[in-house]
Structure formats: C-alpha cells, structure tokens
C-alpha cells in the first residue's frame, strides 16, 4: 500500500467509524455489526501504526464514543469513564497477560472474569450512602444527567445498605461513583416489540438499542413504563478508598444492596482465565442481560493502579468478545419494501436456515450502496448474522462460490425504474433520515398505496395519535380497499365497515370484529383533543420529526397559523441573508471583490445584511431552537402549500378538527423560570411543563440564581439541594396548582 492509498483508506475508515458511532451512541440505531465495527477500528489502528504521519489526535482510535444528546444537562465525571480494549482470540488474550507480567515484573497474577453486559454504561454517584445522580458515559469526561430516568429502576436502592459484606471494611464512602450497565431484560424487550408490532410500529433492533433509546427519553413517566434494570461492576472516584480487589468490590457492591453480575470467576493465571471465558460462553444465554463477551480484569487493586491506563482504556482489563452467531445460506431473491416516505428498501429472501434458535428466511440488506459494497448478488451463498437482533443482517457473500452469470445488483433495473407498488417514477435521493442513510431510491408518488398505508399506520402509532388497534395490517387493508386515502379519512370510516373488515383471505377470512372496531372509534374521538404538536407529527410532514413538531406546536396556535407562519418565514429569510452575506463578503473565496469600489459597496451591503440578520434573531427568531432550521422551514412551508398538504388541511377542516398549539401566553409565570425535579403526585412531567409554558413561563433543566421556583416531587435529587443552597423558593404540586389558579 502506498502512503497515498493509506491516507485515503484511513480517511474512509475514520468517516465510516464516526458515522457508526453516531448511529450507535446517539441514535441507538446501528447499521453495522459490532464485529464489523471492531474490524474497521482495528484496520484503522493498524494503518495508523504503519503510517504514523497520518495519525491524528481526533482519530476514532484515540477517543471513546460520545452518547450525549440534546435535552439533558451535562455533568462532569469526577473520574473519567474509560472504554475497554477488545480482543477476539485466545492469542490476543494471552498477549494481554504477557504485557501485564512484563509491566508488573511478575507473572503471578490473579484475574476476575465477568460477563460483558451489552447495555449502556452509566455512573451512579452516592453521597454518604444516598443516591444523588446518574450520568451516562458521554464523551468519557462528561455525560448526560439521566438521574430522573434511572430513579425508575426498581431494583436500584436509593440508599446503600450498611450491611458488612465479607471482606468489606464496612464504612460508607462520603462520595463514590459506581459504574455499571443499564439493560432491558429480554422478556421486557419482547413485550414492547410485540406491542409495537400490534400498533404497526417499527420494531426495535435489539434490547441494547431500546435501553439506550429509553434512557435518553425526556419523559420519565414513559421510562418507568419500560422496566429497565441495572448491573454494577466498577468504581470511579471513591473517597475514601474502600476496596482492595475486584472480588472485594463485588462483595462490597452486593453488601450495599446493589445488583451485581450473576456469575464471575476469580482465577490465578491466564490459563485458568481462558478456561473461565469458555465456561462463561457456555452459560451466558441463561443470564437476564445480553452479553457480548467476557471482561478479564486484574484482581488486585494495587496491581491495577500500578498497571495504569492509556487515554482511552485501562491497561489492567480487557474485553474478550464472543463472535455473534452466523449461518450460511442461499440468497434466492431480493424483494423491495416501500416505506411511508416512499424509500425503497431491499430485503434478502433466503433459503430458510436455523440461526440462534429460530428459522430465518429474510434478512435486511439496508440499501443499494450496502449491497454493492458487500458485492452481494442473487444466487450467492451468503453469511447472515443474528446478534441478539430481531432483524438478521447479511454480512457477506462468497464470490468464489457464485453461480455463473450472477450479475451485480442494480435496484433501478430490478424494479424496471418504477415503484414496485404503484408503478410511478422513482428517483435517487440523499437521505439523512433515521431509517435509511446515504443514497436511496424513492417512489415519487405521494399517493402510492404503500406510502398511504405507511402514513396511516404512523398516524395511529403510540407516539403520534395513539389510535390503538390500527397496526400495519389494518392500515394496509383500509388503504387497499380504498377506505382511506389520507390518514384523517379514518374518521369517515363507519363503525360497521371497520367491524366487518376482512384481514384474512376470501378462503380464510379473519374479521376485525365489533369490539376492536369500537375501540378504534373511541380512540379516534379521543385524539381530536390532542394538541397541535401531536397532530403535526402524526401527519408526516417531511422533515418534521417529534422534537421539531413539539417546538413548532408550542409556537403556533393552530394549523392556520402554521401555514402562514411568520416564524418559518423568518427562518428562511435569515438563511437567505446568511447565504447572501457569505457570497457578498469582499474576501469571499468563490466571489472575490473585483475592485476597490466593488469592495466598498459589498462591505456596506454586508453590514446591512448583518443588521437584518440581527433584527430577525432578536425579533421573530428569539428563543427559536436550532431544530427549526432552514431545511425544516422550507419543507414545512412547501408541504402546506402543496396539493397533498392543502388536501390534508381541508379534510381536517371538514372534520372539525382544529388542534390547538400550547403557545405561551401572558400568565402567572410570565418572565419566570421553573425547574422540575422528582415525581409529582398527580401531574406527569410533560403535563406540568405544558402548564408552565401555557402560563407564560420557561422550563429549565438546571437550578441557578435566576430560577424563580423549583417544583419538587417525591425523590427530588440534587436540584432540590441546589435550590436550598441558593435560596430558590421550592414549591410542591399543590402550591403550583394554586398559583396557576391565581390563588
């Protein structure tokens, strides 16, 4: 490999890993397997070693992932949360031992071997035995404060027990950071996915993603409904130090009443450690949490200190990763599914094969780029993987065993350049959506049956209008039979039609039934009262996701106001001026000033543009979050002006549906900032927030001198302490409601 080739490959790998990190840590929606990810990282580290001239401090090999998302307060860890180095084979595990023996000057080393829990890392702080805070790993030095959500975990004690575990010293540290992993038990994962399937919603890929998504929910009541669990296995900052070994730590954690790993081994020497790794692999499927490997740790705390750590990981511990289960089978065909946004997704139709306990006949192929990259062709022998994931994925093909004449897959040609559902034109588009990224083909027909059905299913889903009972199958049927064109048409479908809907075939009918139909009618009536933000989200306006819908719904009183929104206009106007200023800047690279006169004129123009931008920012755009950017503004404005957009609004009008925005009006909390903490006796967090906003107030995530009130409920944490410290008035729910009522 020439240096130039290496440089290119390094750049590619860095981009690939950065993207995978974003999908894994922030969106909890990985597209590549852990194995592929680790392979990419390893190749990158190799190349950086061989070509040190291209090494860089911000390479993914030099940093831990970053899980931080918007909406949470950031908190610094007292002691950095590190990552672990990975190995995939016995030789590397033995090399770990050899390294340590050399470093410590003895090969008389004891290890603990523990399961590597496939959840998400969290650091809990206890002060004098009292739980005060839970923070995600974040970037390693600081993470997101998820205290409220972690409080919903029933098995986690809020107060550590004083019980004296064997080998423990008995005292309670003043401040201790305890590290562990949050996970979702398999049964709970299946329950949630079954519910989603019934509601026609997209399924979560695996328990880890669902757990990660759950802990990053802003609504703790929602989190409480999903029964998260936790396992603790490590220490961060601890004052004073309380343990001498990893084995001692486990006993201590247990004595404090904390959930710990189900099984661990304390062994002497690397042979015994390797044997324990094998034993763990054989029994791990019986654990409550998913495991993707074993963690081998030096047992002695003194030796751990002596071995130290790199910027990224301790030298005294290593993860041995079990390979996910894979199988080989034939790819018979590639079929195409069309989603609610019209994106064409390829699906592998396989010769049925047994894998990880179930028979697999379909697997995801993600998108055309992925098929090309992996050189997968119809007729190929392929390897598929199921790493605790619901949807198996195709890992690779074996070109050496390819049938003659198998040609490179061409999606456009395969569908004859038309949408396989409606026959309309398809176009290549760039997508940055959650479900498909990169380049994709898209059906251009808004009225495509697949898109209609997808939108109707989404409209009724839990996160949208929660019209339970209309899942994917019912939605597809209603569209197929012509009962529903746009989601609001659901309101015009008579009870009798719903009740007699045949979801089966002519030969084997499966009638929807009176009871189910009655439920739908009740749910659709209840949905009429939902606020603008929910309706906006439910109508699948391009680029308007949940957060954007919420922000827009809190800044407009109705659809009528939104359609002619001064705010969206201002966003577009600002974007235009910013672009123009860039172009007209006298030193603009693409458009440099031609003369002194030109320079002077443009300088003046830029000053004027700058003033206009400032005026927009201070005026209509004051307090508008970055979520509402120019792309969203353009999309929303275009949609409501388009034929389908106007058609939707007309239908809502005809149905008498006029959802109200929760716009801040002048009220008792005008000019006031409130902070919520703990669980309130009757109000959900979101309800309380809405009330504050509706009464003109602001809600903040952290207490400062500027905070007007702290609204505190049960198990209020550090925010309450902070309020007391700063002398900020603390009110309970009753008092809050009295203030709202003007009392």
234 is a contact residue toward ligand IVH (CB under 6 A): yes
Cα-based distances in Å from 94 to 97, 318, 416, 554, 623: 5, 11, 55, 59, 57
Among 319, 467, 536, 636, binds ligand IVH (CB under 6 A): 319
Give dist(CA 582, CA 596) in Å, integer.
Answer: 18
CB 135 within 8 A of CB 75: yes
Among 9-17, 28-36, 78-86, 337-345, the segment contacting ligand IVH (CB under 6 A) = 78-86
CB atoms within 10 A of CB 168: 19
Number of CB atoms found within 10 A of residue 596's CB: 9
The token duo for 132 is: 């005060």
By the 10 Å C-beta count (0-12 exposed, 13-18 middle, 19+ buried), 410 is classed as exposed
Contact call for residue 215 and ligand IVH (CB under 6 A): no
114 is a contact residue toward ligand IVH (CB under 6 A): yes
List 230's β-bridge partners, or say none: 182
Binding mask 173-202 for ligand IVH (x = CB under 6 A): --------x---------------------
b/e 250-263 (16+ beta carbons within 10 angstroms → b): bbbbbbbbbbbbbe
Least Å from the CB of residue 530 to ligand IVH: 39
User: Which are the contacts of 419, defined by CB distance < 8 A and separation ≥ 6?
Assistant: 338, 342, 344, 425, 426, 443, 444, 445, 448, 450
**Nearer to ligand IVH among residue 82 and residue 355 (C-beta):** 82
Q: Tell which positions 252-311 bind ligand IVH, by CB under 6 A.
A: 295
Candidate residues 25, 72, 233, 559; the one interacting with ligand IVH per rule CB under 6 A: 233
For the CB of residue 172, give the shortest distance to ligand IVH in the complex, in Å. 23
Nearer to ligand IVH, 16 or 264 (CB): 264
Which one of the spans 27-35, 79-87, 345-353, 731-739 is the region binding ligand IVH (CB under 6 A)? 79-87
Segment lying near ligand IVH (by CB under 6 A), choices 218-226, 278-286, 312-320, 731-739: 312-320
Instruction: For the chain, give the number of residues.
Output: 743
Q: Max Cα separation, the chain?
A: 85
Give the shortest CB-180-to-ligand IVH separation in angstroms: 8
CB atoms within 10 A of CB 559: 21
Sequence-distant (6+) residues with CB within 8 A of 21 are 60, 65, 66
| H/E run at residue 709 | strand 709-712
Give 314-363 as a 3 state SS string: ECCEEEEECCCEEEEEEEEEEEEEECCCCEEEEEEEEEEEEECCEEEEEE
Stretch that binds ligand IVH, among 66-74, 80-88, 160-168, 555-563 (CB under 6 A): 80-88
- Judged by CB under 6 A, which of 317, 465, 527, 710 binds ligand IVH? 317
C-beta of 32 vs 363, nearer to ligand IVH: 32
Give me the catalytic one of 116, 574, 691, 698: 116
Q: Which residue is nearest to ligand IVH (CB)?
A: 121
- Contact between 48 and ligand IVH by CB under 6 A: the answer reads no
* Out of 84, 235, 538, 571, the residue judged to bind ligand IVH by CB under 6 A: 84
Pick from 23, 93, 113, 121: which binds ligand IVH (CB under 6 A)? Answer: 121
Q: Which of 200, 314, 454, 472 binds ligand IVH (CB under 6 A)?
A: 314
* Of the candidate residues 7, 18, 62, 83, the single one contacting ligand IVH (CB under 6 A): 83
The distance in angstroms from the start CA to the end CA of the chain is 77
What value does the CA radius of gyration of the chain take, rounded to a whole number of Å?
29
Determine whether 116 is an active site residue: yes
Instruction: Tell me how far, at minimum, the Cβ of 545 lies from ligand IVH, in Å.
Output: 29
117 lines the binding site for ligand IVH (CB under 6 A): yes
Cβ 633 vs Cβ 576: under 8 Å? no
Q: Which of 116, 216, 386, 524 binds ligand IVH (CB under 6 A)?
A: 116
| DSSP for 608-629, written as a single string | HHHHHHHHHHHTTTTT--TTS-
Q: Among the candidate windows 114-122, 371-379, 447-455, 669-677, which touches ligand IVH by CB under 6 A?
A: 114-122
Binding pattern for the stretch 338-377 against ligand IVH, x by CB under 6 A and - elsewhere: ----------------------------------------
Q: Which residues are catalytic?
A: 116
Residue ranges binding ligand IVH (CB under 6 A): 82-84, 114, 116-117, 121, 181, 233-234, 295, 314, 317, 319
């Amino acid at each position: 490999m020439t240096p130039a080739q290496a440089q290119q490959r390094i750049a590619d790998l860095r981009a690939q890993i950065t993207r995978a990190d974003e999908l894994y840590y922030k969106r909890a929606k990985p597209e590549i397997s852990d194995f592929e990810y680790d392979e990419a990282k390893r190749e990158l580290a190799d190349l950086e070693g061989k070509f040190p001239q291209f090494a860089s401090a911000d390479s993914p090999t030099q940093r831990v992932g970053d899980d931080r998302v918007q909406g949470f307060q950031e908190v610094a860890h007292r002691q950095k949360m590190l990552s672990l180095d990975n190995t995939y084979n016995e030789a590397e595990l033995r090399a770990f031992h050899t390294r340590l023996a050399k470093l410590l000057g003895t090969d008389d080393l004891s290890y603990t071997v523990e399961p590597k829990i496939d959840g998400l890392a969290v650091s809990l702080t206890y002060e004098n035995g009292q739980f005060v805070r839970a923070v995600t790993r974040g970037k390693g030095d600081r993470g997101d404060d998820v205290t409220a959500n972690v409080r919903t975990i029933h098995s986690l004690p809020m107060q550590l027990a004083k019980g004296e575990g064997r080998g423990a010293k008995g005292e309670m540290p003043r401040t201790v950071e305890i590290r562990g992993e949050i996970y979702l038990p398999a049964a709970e994962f299946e329950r949630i996915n079954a519910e989603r399937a019934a509601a026609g919603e997209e399924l979560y890929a695996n328990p880890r993603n669902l757990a990660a998504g759950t802990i990053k929910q802003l609504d703790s009541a929602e989190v409480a409904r999903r029964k998260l669990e936790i396992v603790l296995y490590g220490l961060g900052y601890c004052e004073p130090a309380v343990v001498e070994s990893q084995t001692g730590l486990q006993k201590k954690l247990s004595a404090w009443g904390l959930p710990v790993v189900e099984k661990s081994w304390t062994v002497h020497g690397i042979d015994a450690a390797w044997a324990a790794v094998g034993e763990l692999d054989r029994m791990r499927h019986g654990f409550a949490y998913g495991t993707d490997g074993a963690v081998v740790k030096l047992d002695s705390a003194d030796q751990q200190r002596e071995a130290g750590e790199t910027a990224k990981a301790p030298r005294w511990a290593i993860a041995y990763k079990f390979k996910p289960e894979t199988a080989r089978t034939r790819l018979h065909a590639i079929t195409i599914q069309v989603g609610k946004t019209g994106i064409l997704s390829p699906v592998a139709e396989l010769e049925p094969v047994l894998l990880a306990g179930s028979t697999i006949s379909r697997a995801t192929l993600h998108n055309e780029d992925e098929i090309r990259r992996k050189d997968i062709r119809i007729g190929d022998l392929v390897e598929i993987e199921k790493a605790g994931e619901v949807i198996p994925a195709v890992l690779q093909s074996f070109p050496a065993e390819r049938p003659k004449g198998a040609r490179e897959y061409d999606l456009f040609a395969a569908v004859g350049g038309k949408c396989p559902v409606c026959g309309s034109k398809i176009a290549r588009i760039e997508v940055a959506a959650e479900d498909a990224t990169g380049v994709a083909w898209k059906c251009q027909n808004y009225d495509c049956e697949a898109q209609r059905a997808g939108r109707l299913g989404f409209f009724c889903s839990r996160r949208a209008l929660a019209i339970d009972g209309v899942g994917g199958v019912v939605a597809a049927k209603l569209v197929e039979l012509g009962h529903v064109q746009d989601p609001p048409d659901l309101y015009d479908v008579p009870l009798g039609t719903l009740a007699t809907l045949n979801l089966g075939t002519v030969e084997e009918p499966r009638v929807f039934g009176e009871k189910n139909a009655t439920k739908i009618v009740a749910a659709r009536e209840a949905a009429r009262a939902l606020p603008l933000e929910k309706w906006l989200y439910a109508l699948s306006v391009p680029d308007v996701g949940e957060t954007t819908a919420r922000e827009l719904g809190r800044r407009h009183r109705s659809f009528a106001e939104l359609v002619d929104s001064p705010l969206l206009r201002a966003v577009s106007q600002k974007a235009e001026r910013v672009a123009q200023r860039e172009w007209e800047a006298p030193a603009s690279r693409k458009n440099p000033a031609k003369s002194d006169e030109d320079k002077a004129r443009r300088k003046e123009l830029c000053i004027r543009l700058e003033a206009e931008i400032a005026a927009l920012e201070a005026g209509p755009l004051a307090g508008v979050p970055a979520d509402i950017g120019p792309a969203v503004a353009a999309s929303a404005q275009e949609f409501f002006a388009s034929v389908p957009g106007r058609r939707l609004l007309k239908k809502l009008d005809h149905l008498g549906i006029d959802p109200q925005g929760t716009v801040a009006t002048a009220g008792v909390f005008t000019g006031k900032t409130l902070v919520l903490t703990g669980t309130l006796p009757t109000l959900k967090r979101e309800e309380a927030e809405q009330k504050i906003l509706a009464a003109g107030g602001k809600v903040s995530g952290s207490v400062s001198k500027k905070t007007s009130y702290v609204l505190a409920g049960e198990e209020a944490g550090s925010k309450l302490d902070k309020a007391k410290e700063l002398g900020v008035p603390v009110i309970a729910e009753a008092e809050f409601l009295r203030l709202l009522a003007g009392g």
